[in-house]
Amino acid sequence: MRLRRAAMALAVCCLVWAVARERPVMSAEAPAEVRALWVLRTSLTTPAAIAALVRTARQRGFNTLLVQVRGRGDAYYDSALEPRATDLIRQPSNFDPLATVIREAHDGGLRVHAWINLNFVSSAAELPPSRDHLVYRHPEWLMVPREIAQDVAKLDATSPAYIGKLARWTRGQSETIEGLYASPLQPDAAKYAETVVADIATRYEVDGIHLDYARYPNDQFDYSRYAIAEFRAEIRPQLAAPLRAALDRQQEIDLFAYPDRFPAEWTTFRRARMSALMMRLRTRVKTARPGTMMTVAATPDAQEAFDHRLQDWRTWIESGFVDAICPMAYTQEPGRFAEQIAAARDIAGGHAIWAGIGAYRLTPAETVDNIWTTRRLGTGGFVLFSYDSLTGPTQPSDYLATVSRSAFGAMRSTESGSSR
């Protein structure tokens, strides 16, 4: 057992070494202070909405837009891989939200990062209308929770009952599970994710690729029979013949035979496959567009992310998988916010931290206080969640103006009006 664990640990170390070895000399650049907005896809549905977005961001002193162009396995850009978003149905077919944002934002001196929801591919409450969607073309790629995995394993993945059972269970867990996720454990699914990300980086003059949901819903995923088969194939050659035979017999009646026999290795396997995907995404993005930044939205507590989301962002930032981490410190407690960002900064060392501020939960004054906290802590900047909520009817109409006056002041416009 110790030898097997050592072997898996060595494999992870080799993965990290390989990434560090191939890291390009030239690093991606960012403004001295990143002042960014997360922008939901609902603000990209018309040319007028995009014009308002860019105008507001520029006037209020922001210099970076993280625009959600893949929300639920759909496309708010010109894609031959995924279905066009239903929100764009009333727009002409030649309307390309991402291209429009890039053109207008760059003209105004703003940077644009394409925000991609990576593993999260569909709502469970309302399944995609397009039959070209991933959940219909490849339901076998979807993550399965342990709780229903034995039952789901008995179903044909191409049957509507397969997706139906996953969706019904997920709807019942809506407070903690956002929707349906694609799995990084299956090579074909991971390759598809690579292709989607590389397609955007190749064809659009983005300043960055920003990944969200680069994680598992929790550590009770992915127990699909397809994911477990990948684990079995990896660990089985390391086992003595009698143990292999015994586990193979047990698996005929118990799907969890291998994961339960090797729980530590199973967890390491899932975490390592997610990290391997991040490594390959970085390589594809940097090859397609060398000056493009790779950033990731992360669970703010690194240990919680590692243990419960199987998201090893500590390794990702230390080893150069990503250029900046955006810890989503959405707490309403200023002391807790400072603790989370300080801890992330310490882990990142000299690498960039863009503090994720849950401004939708805060007053303008509280958001300003958090911005000044990020400055005192020496981060590379901050991202407010979200433009849409802060300009919507539930917030004061002058929310961003107040933030701009109090947080930017004389610094405002020095970057937002500059050329790229």
Q: What angle do CA 363, 356, 318 make, to 5 degrees?
A: 160
Output the pLDDT for position 19.
38
The answer on pLDDT for 370 being more than 70 is yes
Find all residues with CB under 8 Å of 81, minimum gap 6, and list them: 75, 192, 195, 196, 199
Output the pLDDT for position 410.
45
- Nearest partner of 74 among 44, 50, 49, 113, judged by Cα: 44
Output the pLDDT for position 92.
97
Quick one: angle between helices 263-288 and 187-203, nearest 10? Answer: 20
| 8-26 pLDDT per residue, tens | 444 544 454 443 333 333 3
| 231-279 pLDDT per residue, tens | 999 999 999 999 999 999 999 999 999 999 999 999 999 999 999 999 9
CA 39 to mean position of chain CA atoms? 14
Let me know: does 119 contact 183? Beta carbons within 8 Å: yes
The answer on pLDDT for 407 being more than 90 is yes
Q: Which domains does the chain have, with CATH numbers?
A: 2-20+30-122+183-219+266-411 (3.20.20.80)
Output the pLDDT for position 28.
55
Output the pLDDT for position 325.
98
Output the pLDDT for position 366.
98
| 140-154 pLDDT per residue, tens | 999 999 999 999 999
Q: Which residue has the tokens 């009698």?
A: 242
As a whole number of angstroms, the distance between CA 186 and CA 188 comes to: 6
| 53-73 pLDDT per residue, tens | 999 999 999 999 999 999 999
Burial grade of 366 (CB within 10 A; 0-12, 13-18, 19 or more) = middle
pTM here? 0.91
Output the pLDDT for position 29.
64
| 198-217 pLDDT per residue, tens | 999 999 999 999 999 999 99
Find all residues with CB under 8 Å of 162, minimum gap 6, and list them: 139, 152, 155, 156
Q: How many other C-beta atoms are found inside a 10 Å radius of the C-beta of residue 262?
A: 22
The answer on pLDDT for 415 being more than 90 is no
- Nearest partner of 317 among 34, 72, 23, 53, judged by Cα: 23
The answer on pLDDT for 350 being more than 70 is yes
For residues 296-321, give the mean pLDDT.
Answer: 97
Output the pLDDT for position 30.
72
Distance from first CA to last CA of the chain, Å, rounded?
54
